């Protein structure tokens, strides 16, 4: 009698077993992390004495980085949704100018100027999104137009109202305002005062601020940047709306067939 051969198992090519190391190496964010490590390593090796890594140096480049982090969160989510916004830089200048006009020129409370400007910026973002989804025009073209429109308004409004292109005095107007510290204040001031007294960070050696730490605390700009990064990560990876964002940017038509409100998602991302 012939022996019955056991059936041979054929491995399904769709099931790929990957090691944890391989999973980590193919993650797209690895490139950014490696690049950051290389840049900081080079500066540590060749420019360590430049002051980049003392308390004041760290705070300086951290604040600049925080500005780009805040911009990058919204821009990243919009790009994942399959669109692009060139008017972000002009929007920043326009928003700052409107806060100055409302608070300094018109005499509004700073908290009201911030809220109204925020609502105005949201409305312009919504207008960008509506034009893109209703007309089918590339977001590159639409937002390029708004780049010049907002830049023009940023120059036109102060010239028309104040006969100048720069409006100062926001810091004085914000004195005592309850909302201003939420965006322009500092936290952990007591900790930095202690580190100055302990000699961990530099302090002023002369003048009226003698003995006070050079860095008084962590600016709210950095706090907002970190909060928004965490918020964006949670939205994209832990929520249904985050799945909608990926779907809208991956295959918009297939996403519509699956019930994803693609147009609404894109407009919200522009906002």
Gap between the Cα atoms of 1 and 20, Å rounded: 48
Tokens at 133, concatenated: 């989804």
Q: How many CB atoms lie within 10 A of CB 107?
A: 9
Cα 191–Cα 193–Cα 196 angle in degrees, nearest 5: 110
**Cα Dmax for the chain:** 106
Q: Is the pLDDT of residue 255 over 80?
A: yes
Q: Which residue has the higher pLDDT, 75 or 32?
A: 75
Q: What is the mean pLDDT of residues 201-205?
A: 81
Q: Is the pLDDT of residue 8 over 70?
A: no
Q: What is the pLDDT of residues 62-109, one digit of tens each?
A: 999 999 999 999 999 999 999 999 999 999 999 999 999 999 989 899
Q: Is the pLDDT of residue 143 over 90?
A: yes
Alpha-carbon distances of 1 from 4, 6, 192, rounded to whole Å: 9, 15, 87
Q: What is the mean pLDDT of residues 201-211?
A: 78
pTM (predicted TM-score): 0.80
Confidence bin at 10 (pLDDT 50/70/90): low
Q: Which residue has the higher pLDDT, 165 or 153?
A: 153
Tokens at 6, concatenated: 């056991």
Q: Enumerate residues 6+ apart whose C-beta is below 8 A from 88.
A: 71, 74, 75
Q: How many CB atoms lie within 10 A of CB 21?
A: 8
Q: How many CB atoms lie within 10 A of CB 104?
A: 19
Q: Is 213 helix (H, G, I), strand (E, B) or coil?
A: strand
Residue 122 confidence (pLDDT): 95
Q: Where are the domains of the chain?
A: 56-82+186-260, 86-174
Averaged confidence pLDDT in the chain? 86
Give the residue from 228, 261, 233 showing the smallest Cα distance to 247: 261
Confidence bin at 4 (pLDDT 50/70/90): low
Confidence bin at 9 (pLDDT 50/70/90): low
């Amino acid at each position: 009698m012939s022996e019955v051969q056991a059936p041979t198992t054929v491995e399904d090519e769709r099931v790929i077993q990957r090691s944890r190391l391989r999973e980590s190496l193919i993650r797209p964010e690895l490139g950014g992390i490696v690049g950051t490590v290389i840049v900081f390593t080079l500066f540590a090796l060749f420019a360590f004495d430049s002051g980049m890594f003392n308390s004041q140096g760290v705070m300086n480049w951290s604040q600049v980085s925080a500005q780009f982090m805040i911009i990058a969160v919204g821009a990243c989510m919009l790009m994942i949704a399959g669109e692009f916004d060139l008017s972000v830089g002009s929007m920043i200048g326009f928003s700052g100018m409107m806060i100055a006009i409302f608070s300094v020129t018109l005499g509004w409370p700073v908290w009201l100027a911030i809220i109204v400007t925020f609502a105005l910026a949201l409305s312009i973002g919504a207008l960008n999104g509506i034009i893109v989804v209703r007309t089918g025009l590339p977001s590159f073209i639409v937002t390029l137009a708004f780049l010049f429109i907002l830049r023009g308004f940023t120059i036109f409004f102060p010239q028309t109202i104040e006969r100048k292109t720069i409006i100062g005095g926001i810091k004085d107007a914000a004195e005592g305002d309850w909302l201003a510290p939420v965006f322009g204040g500092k936290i952990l001031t007591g900790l930095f005062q202690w580190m100055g007294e302990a000699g961990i960070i530099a302090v002023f050696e002369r003048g009226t601020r003698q003995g006070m730490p050079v860095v008084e605390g962590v600016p709210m700009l950095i706090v907002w940047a970190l909060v928004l990064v965490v918020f964006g990560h949670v939205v994209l990876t832990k929520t249904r709306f985050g799945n909608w964002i990926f779907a809208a940017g991956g295959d918009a038509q297939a996403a519509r067939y699956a019930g994803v409100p693609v147009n609404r998602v894109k407009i919200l991302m522009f906002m």
